[in-house]
Amino acid sequence: MILHPESGEPPRSVMVVSCDPQEGKSFVCANLGVSFAHSVKEQALVIDCDLRRPSLQSLFGLKHARGLTEYLRDGDNISDMIYATGLPKLSIIPSGSPPDNPSELLSSDRMSAMLDELADMADNRLLVLDSPPFHVAAETLVLSQLVDKVVLVVRWGKSGRENIKKMVDRIGREKIIGVVFNAFEFNILDKKIQGVGYHNYYAEEYY
């Protein structure tokens, strides 16, 4: 749905967001980047926009690296903030040092201009943003309007239906390209229902 939409052009930028912390959005964001980097044409650039509690840089083995904060706050060159990963077609912009004003930085015109600049650097580059949790940081709503599409990460048993609905309504349903339902746990009844099928039909012994 991202690389080959049914209608229109593929998005140039996708943001991964969850309602609350600890839902697995950073892990999903990293895996999306890896998946895109394995495609035939696309290059992927993952950007850690969770300036309060960044996770992507540790997932990719970067420690104390300059990144998004230094670009937005100090005016550093964005090209110097892009780091290679273990995959040839995957790169990352880490969050950088913790700022005092993450909301102001991510809501600034400089952030919007950066996304346009990065998209224009390469025709086949897909930007994948890891955002702060929606109900924790006000700037997440602003970020959602700067990207082409949004992927929701919903952890089983974590966020309530009403909170998810409020997030969807505020972001806009037309922006949301899909939902990743994460860490689902089967109960005993679910396992029995799922276990009935051709894969184990002949393994059953009936008396």
Min mean pLDDT across 6-15, 77-86, 165-174, 192-201 is at: 192-201
Where in the sequence is the domain holding 195, given as residue range(s)?
Answer: 13-201
**Residues 45-55, mean pLDDT to the nearest whole number:** 93
DSSP category for residue 40: S
In this structure, the number of other CB atoms found within 10 A of the CB of residue 24 comes to 18
CA 113 – CA 127 distance, rounded (Å): 14
The verdict on residue 97 lying in a domain is yes
- What is the pTM (predicted TM-score) of this model? 0.84
**Residues 41-45, mean pLDDT to the nearest whole number:** 86
pLDDT tens readout for residues 77-109:
999 999 999 888 999 999 999 999 999 999 999
- Whole-number pLDDT of residue 196: 43
The verdict on residue 1 lying in a domain is no
The residue ranges of DSSP E strands in 63-135, in sequence order, are: 83-84, 90-93, 125-130
Q: Read off the CATH number of the domain in which 120 is found.
A: 3.40.50.300
**How many domains in the chain?**
1
Residue 129 φ/ψ, nearest 5 degrees: -100, 130
Higher pLDDT, 204 or 15: 15
Q: How confident is the model at residue 200 (pLDDT cuts 50, 70, 90)?
A: very low
DSSP category for residue 86: S
- Whole-number pLDDT of residue 132: 93
